[in-house]
């Protein structure tokens, strides 16, 4: 059985911003819609590594199907000036300046859903059991420390993309540039057909 454990590190957040971010790159997940089949393995793996249960309802990545033929997944894209942070009436969401990961303080969050409504990407949900906001944390809160959806995607459709946190760019524009550039091809025989 996969067990998830919370990391015990003290991240640098907006409230503790005494770091130089000029040389730091942040990571986000992007999905190649040409490879994604909509199998939902990413959602199941995400639920398992965070909650020890295969439950896509509590996944931090969400499969999206645009009928009839496009499948993709959505997760937090670490916006430059996150609307979810501004929308939270309890200041329960902060941006880690070292990683770019938006972090939810589960002790402050009351599950009101203001962050969900503010997120332009639909990347935030409320956990079905603890009724607190959840979003992709790149598996930083698990024993793995790296996104397991990337590891277990049978088509190799999910990629980690580095973005410059100092560029004030709408993340839709960031994603558009990534899609136009294209994705690397997998090594021969590595991806299931």
Mean pLDDT by 10-residue block, N- to C-terminus, for the chain (193 residues)?
36 49 79 90 95 92 83 89 95 93 96 95 94 95 93 93 84 84 73 52
d(CA 106, CA 110): 8
Residue spans of the domains in the chain: they are: 24-181
- Rounded to two decimals, what is the model's pTM? 0.79
Phi-psi region of 37 (alpha: psi -120 to 50; beta: other; left: phi over 0): alpha
- pLDDT for position 183: 83
CA distances to 36, 45, 79 from 72, rounded to whole Å, are 6, 16, 19
- Give the model's pLDDT for residue 1: 31
Q: What is the DSSP letter of 7?
A: -
**What architecture (CATH level 2) is domain 24-181?**
2-Layer Sandwich (3.30)
pLDDT of 20 reads: 55
Q: What is the pLDDT of residue 4?
A: 34
């Amino acid at each position: 059985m996969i067990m998830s454990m919370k990391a015990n590190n003290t991240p640098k957040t907006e409230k503790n911003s005494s770091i130089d971010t000029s040389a730091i790159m942040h990571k986000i997940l992007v999905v190649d819609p040409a490879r994604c089949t909509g199998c939902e393995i990413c959602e199941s793996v995400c639920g398992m590594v965070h909650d020890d249960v295969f439950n896509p309802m509590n996944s931090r990545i969400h499969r999206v199907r645009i009928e009839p033929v496009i499948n993709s997944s959505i997760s937090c894209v670490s916006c430059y000036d996150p609307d979810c942070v501004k929308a939270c009436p309890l200041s329960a969401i902060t941006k880690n300046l070292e990683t770019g990961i938006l972090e939810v303080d589960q002790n402050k969050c009351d599950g009101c859903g203001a962050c969900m409504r503010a997120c332009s990407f639909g990347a935030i949900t409320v956990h079905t059991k603890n009724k607190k906001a959840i979003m992709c944390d790149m598996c930083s809160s698990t024993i793995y420390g790296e996104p397991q959806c990337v590891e277990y995607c049978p088509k190799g459709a999910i990629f980690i993309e580095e973005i410059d946190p100092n560029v004030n760019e709408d993340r839709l524009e960031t994603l558009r540039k990534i899609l136009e550039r294209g994705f690397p091809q997998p090594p021969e025989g590595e991806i299931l057909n």
